[in-house]
Amino acid sequence: MKSLKDAIARFGADARAKLANPSVTGEPEDQLRAPLEALFADLAELCGFKREWLTAVGESSLSRLKTRPDYAVTLRNVLVGFAEVKAPGKGADPRRYKGHDKQQWEKLQSLPNLLYTDGNSFSLWQNGELVDSVLELQGDIETSGAKLAAPPGLLRLFDNFLRWEPIPPKSAPDLAKISARLCRLLRDEVTEQLAEKSPALTALAADWRKLLFPEANDEQFADGYAQAVTFGLLMARSSGFRLSGGLDQVGKQLGKTSSLIGAALRLLTDEASSEATLKTSLGALLRVLDAVDWQTISKGKPDAWLYFYEDFLAVYDNALRKLTGSYYTPPEVVGPMIRLVDDVLREHFDRSAGLASPDVTLADPAVGTGTFILGVLRRIASDVETDQGAGAVPQAIESAIGRLIAFELQLGPFAVAQLRVYAELMELIGKPPRAIPRMFVTDTLGNPYAEVEELGSLYRTIAESRKRANEIKSKERITVVLGNPPYKEKAKGRGGWIEEGTDETAKVALLKAWIPPADWGVGAHAKHLRNLYVYFWRWATWKVFDHDPQHDAGIVCFITVAGFLNGPGFQRMRDDLRRKCDRIWVIDCTPEGHQPDVPTRIFQAVQQPVCIVLAARSKQKAAAKPAAVKYTVLPAGKREEKFAALARLKLGSKVWQDCPTDWRAPFLPAASGDWASYAALDELFAYNGSGVMPGRTWIIAPDSESLQQRWRKLIRAKPEQKESLFHPHLRGGQPGDKHVNKVVRGLPGFGDNPKPVADEKGECLLPVRYGFRSFDRQWIIPDSRVINQPNPELWGSHGARQTYLTALMAHSPTSGPAVTFTCLIPDLHHYKGSFGGRVFPLWRDAAAKTPNLPPRLLESLAKKYKFAVTAEDVLAYLAAVAANPAYTARFQKDLAQPGLRIPLTARPNLFAQAIELGRRVIWLQTFGERFVDAKANRPPGPPRLPKERSPRIPSSGAIPDDADSMPDEIRYDESKRRLMVGAGFIDNVPPAVWQYEVSGKQVLTQWFSYRKKNRERPIIGDRRPPSKLGDIQPDHWLAEYTTELLNVLHVLALLVELEPQQAQLLEQICAGPTLAYNR
């Protein structure tokens, strides 16, 4: 046996000879292959293994591949790890690599045992973590030859590499993390091989599309392939099948309990060439997952799989969860939903056995990991045991299997659902069930009448599964549809048959029944129907209520986002549900509104409000009578409190409130009590509209100079780059509203430009101040060619006296002032930065001659109060009453139904007090540019606190203006009343100013986020990244930022000082007589 010294000396001599040979072609790392293979064998022998046991299987040199290491290393034909060779001088620390090598490392770090070397240095990485340290040989491989020497620890490094064994994960979250990393590598390898036109995989992808997913692109096929294989292997291990026998054997064994997954696994790995093409990831998967001991992980509990797929997705591809809208329902929600459905069946459908009734068929159209189906099985078992005894349970469950149907589009969660359901059936029945549960991988929204193509015997199981799913969708009667459908906004084109219809059925698309007609005047809001959860609602109502007119009684119960409860675009949907059903129950699960604190959320990763809605149609449904809609709301607070309230909730509980009976009315309680008598905000104005919808972020900035620089870069760009920089909206892959070749009329006051942006050579129009957010004044390029929807009416009526009130209408404020004001053209999201809202101008014209108020309003108020009332007085009154936190807090319960209402006092003295107070509020919120009156202590210019209470920047607190110190963080030290801005600070800032928020949006942190060093915003779902023009911004903190920040601090502090007066005034108004408003 050689010594380590001899082995390294030989390696050095061989490597130098190879690298120095001028006749040898190829990359430097290729010249290291033979010397390295000999070194591996020598080191294996020195570690106590026989030389012939080790095989280093080298890959052909394809430098463009990122998922294929140079060697797969086996000992006695068992895979132990992989080795990646780099050119001498690159080092063996992949964390320092750039370009292709860095991208390769980002993929290969998923491997469990990976050796890196450039000949001079060696490192060992296990599951992406460095073992010990990077070791450097003594000398240089290109020049030292036989003088090359080993560093201490080299033999130990190789011994660790060669003796690696998979560590069995001890918990389901650990297993999810490990399998997700390897599944991701398999997906990347499939994607790469498809790009290389691998014959076996290309043909397989084509067949896969024909059978399961006709619309799947290569990326989606790679994802489906990777998840099917990974979860097939996990299912095999949970069933006790060994993986060492090969993938085909695993597929055959799985087919006995999970025919679809077993068939898919066999199909996907049937071709020997496919397995060879993907040997890196498949080899690692087989080796690692074969070590899984499911009994140790599950401890015999079926619910060990409960959150497995969510844990898996978080590592595998968290963006995929957002893209598919996959959020799994807590059992604490599933149980009450199932119980309520069961109660409705008993009380309103004469089904004394509830869900256990032999004529009740139930479907979950997006089964996920099976929680609802499991809950139904457990409910049936519990009820039967209570009524008949434990001995009756197995037979009742065997009977129920055939009446439960599950559809799922994604193979990963489908496999988990099958595992969980099969384990539960074994638990409840005590032996394998006689029938296989009716669970299908299928697109619920797909055409149920489509023909399924025959592709040979190996595909037969999958083809039969799809046929059976289509037969159920097209023919079988279903009594109950229950579940948690996926949420995905802006999902136009993803609704399949529901959205598009088919020629075969000679019917229009089912969604059309929910699109409001033009004369309803809500067409602009109909776009919100293009959401996955709406498509599933429409499928469910069609299947239960429309599909078979002779059997149209049944129940749909979903937990979904809550936009359809009151959104104007959903009027036809609500109308249809009221006509189809006789009873509807609504449970509002998010009284906190949008973006509540995470601990309060039912789904902790979902920011939108959610609700549970149960819609039922009995045989007694009267066609001309709208459904009785009942509403309740869970308590505000932690999710555990919501779970407890759900557990207590019954159909007969006294918490249910009646909703309006108007066909199109919201599924929310009607205004009642004093609130119902107050004037609606929009009734107090003649006109309200949307703010400016810019459509692209680069045309707005906190400083004017950045906008001019962005414009110059755009017009100087090459023609092929301009469109991308301009960043047009895409419709069907083509530029939409505005693009570089479009000619449009100019904004009022700015003139027309006959040139499209593509031909523009001149400077941009001088940027103007812009009401971007409440208390955040920015700049915009006032060019209609670059603003998607500028709302010309706002620009046309803009003038020196114009003032705008902004407020939410389709949603309710949750905290802070309910309305805010600006004297600048406001953005669509001016009020709080999201959820749009409406803009209420004070004047209809730029000259401020025509008030934007209903006819005779001023005359009527003057008659009531016995003094003249002006348009400014009305706006000031609104500011005094609603632009403060006391209003939002007082009416929070009333605001369960969105829509602000204003109590109009009947007392002239209170009205006069409100006018004076409100004028100061508007003067403050417009930064001293409106409602100016020096005699009333409202001088022109930015408002200022008295000097002793003013925020100040001491000499030691100067905010640095060099590039290296550009602030990237803002925070508050309450003990010092100090606002920290990067390395600088501002003293004398009250805590209430730091905490000031507008409906959940903290003003100062939001304001700073647009001026800090890193201004990137998270990309939500599948939205496109913004234009690169937005990257043009100051590289240092500007003096104007400091000035404006101080302006904001003064304004907020003065507003906070007014809040007690506003709260007292509101109390007096509401305690006294108010005017009943009739427009």
pLDDT tens digit string along 947-1004?
999 999 999 999 999 999 999 999 999 999 999 999 999 999 999 999 999 998 999 9
The continuous run of DSSP H or E covering 249 comes out as helix 247-254
Average pLDDT of span 111-119 = 91
- Average pLDDT in the chain: 88
Tokens of 138: 């003594």
List the beta strands (DSSP E) in 700-802: 700-701, 730-731, 734-735, 768-773, 776-780
What's the alpha-carbon Rg for the chain, to the nearest Å?
34
- Specify the residue for token string 């909730």: 649
Please compute the mean of the pLDDT values over residues 676-693 and round it to a whole number: 95
Rounded-to-integer distance, Cα 113 and Cα 129, Å: 10
Question: Are β-strands 114-117 and 78-85 bridged in parallel, bridged antiparallel, or unpaired?
Answer: parallel
Q: Looking at residue 324, what is its pLDDT? A: 52
pLDDT average, residue stretch 280-293: 83
Sign of the CA dihedral with 251 first, then 255, 258, and 264 last: positive
Domain ranges of the chain: 4-162, 172-296+312-316, 325-352+477-670, 362-445
* 265, pLDDT greater than 80: no
Residues 805 and 873: their CA atoms lie apart, in Å, by 14
Interhelix angle for 218-238 vs 279-289, to 10°?
20
Residue 818, amino acid? A
Please determine, for residue 248, whether its predicted confidence score (pLDDT) is greater than 90.
no
Stretch (H or E) spanning 554: strand 554-561
Looking at this protein, which amino acid is placed at residue 966? M
Of the ranges 148-152, 357-361, 743-747, 749-753, which is most confident?
Answer: 357-361
Q: Residue 521 and residue 530: Cα distance in Å, rounded?
A: 18
Inform me whether the pLDDT recorded for 482 exceeds 90: yes
CA distance 324 to 371: 18
Q: Rounding to the nearest 10 degrees, give the CA dihedral for residues 162, 167, 168, 172.
A: -140
Contact 1046, 989 (CB under 8 A): no
CA triple 795-800-801, angle to 5 deg? 100
Could you give the residue ranges of the DSSP H alpha helices within 270-355? 272-277, 279-289, 294-298, 308-316, 318-324, 331-348
**pLDDT for position 1006:** 96
Listed in order, strand segments (DSSP E) in 52-192 are 54-58, 71-75, 78-85, 114-117, 121-126, 129-136
Residue-wise burial string across 805-822, b where 16 or more C-beta atoms lie within 10 A, e elsewhere: bbbbbbbbbbbbbbbbbb
Mean pLDDT over residues 269-297, rounded?
74
Q: How confident is the model at residue 662 (pLDDT cuts 50, 70, 90)?
A: very high
List CB contacts of 209: < 8 A, sequence separation 6 or more: 215, 216, 221
- Taking only the tens place, the pLDDT of each residue in 725-766 is 998 876 655 666 788 888 899 999 998 888 999 999 999 999
- Return d(Cα 158, Cα 47) in angstroms, integer: 8
Cα–Cα distances (Å) from 466 to 261, 270, 407, 461, in that order, read 13, 20, 10, 9
pLDDT confidence of 277, banded at 50, 70, 90?
low
Instruction: Choose the weakest-confidence range: 199-213, 352-366, 563-577, 814-828.
Output: 199-213
Is the overall model pTM greater than 0.85, yes or no? no
859 and 866 Cβ atoms separated by less than 8 Å: no
**How far from 250 is each of 255, 269, 627, 773, CA to CA, in Å?**
9, 10, 53, 59
Rounded CA separation 243/249 (Å): 8
Q: Mean pLDDT over residues 461-465, rounded?
A: 73
pLDDT confidence bin for 301, thresholds 50/70/90? low
Quick one: pLDDT at residue 602?
Answer: 87
**Among 82, 131, 73, CA closest to 104:** 82
Asked: is 4-162 a CATH 3.90.1570 domain? The reply is yes
For residue 891, CA distances in Å to 123, 314, 813, 911 come to: 64, 39, 10, 20
Q: Using alpha carbons only, give the angle 699, 705, 711 rounded to the nearest 5 degrees.
A: 45
| Distance between CA atoms of residues 948 and 713, nearest Å | 47
**Mean pLDDT, to the nearest integer, of 328-354?**
94
**pLDDT of amino acid 154:** 92
Condensed to tens digits (0 to 9), the pLDDT of residues 501-541 reads 765 544 678 999 999 999 998 888 888 999 999 999 999 99
Query: At which residue do the structure tokens 């249910």 appear?
Result: 656
pLDDT at 61: 46
Q: Look up residue 879 and give its amino acid.
A: A
Asked if residue 496 lies in contact with residue 505, where contact means CB atoms within 8 angstroms, the answer is: no
Supply angle C-alpha 716, 718, 723, rounded to 5. 95
Output 296-304 pairs: Cβ under 8 A, ≥24 positions apart. 296/168, 296/170, 297/169, 297/170, 297/171, 297/172, 297/175, 298/172, 298/238, 302/374, 302/420, 302/423, 302/424, 302/427, 303/331, 303/420, 304/172
Say if CB 94 and CB 102 are below 8 A apart. Answer: yes
The percent helix, strand, coil of the chain (3-state, each to 5) is 45, 15, 40
Contact 825, 798 (CB under 8 A): yes
% of residues, the chain, pLDDT over 90: 57
Q: What is the pLDDT of residue 268?
A: 60
Output b/e per residue, 598-637; b: 16+ Cβ within 10 A: eebbbbeebebbbbbbbbbbbeebeeeebbebbbbbbeee
For residue 419, count other CB atoms closer than 10 A to its CB: 26
Alpha carbon distances (Å) from 10 to 23, 151, 177, 256, 595:
21, 15, 42, 55, 65
pLDDT at 65 exceeding the cut of 80:
no
Write down the pLDDT at residue 62.
Answer: 46
Q: 325-352+477-670 adopts what CATH topology?
A: Rossmann fold (3.40.50)
Residue 300: which region, alpha, beta or left (left: phi > 0; alpha: psi -120 to 50)?
left
Query: What confidence score (pLDDT) does residue 506 get?
Result: 41
Mean pLDDT of the 17-43 span: 79
List the alpha helices (DSSP H) in 929-1013.
991-995, 1003-1009
Phi-psi region of 226 (alpha: psi -120 to 50; beta: other; left: phi over 0): alpha
Q: Cβ of 777: how many Cβ atoms within 10 Å?
A: 20
Map residue 256 onto helix, strand or coil.
Answer: coil
Which pLDDT value is given to residue 299?
A: 72
DSSP H helices, 89-242, are 99-108, 154-162, 172-195, 199-211, 218-238
Which residues have CB under 8 Å from 594's CB, separation 6+? 607, 608, 609, 811, 814, 834, 835, 1000
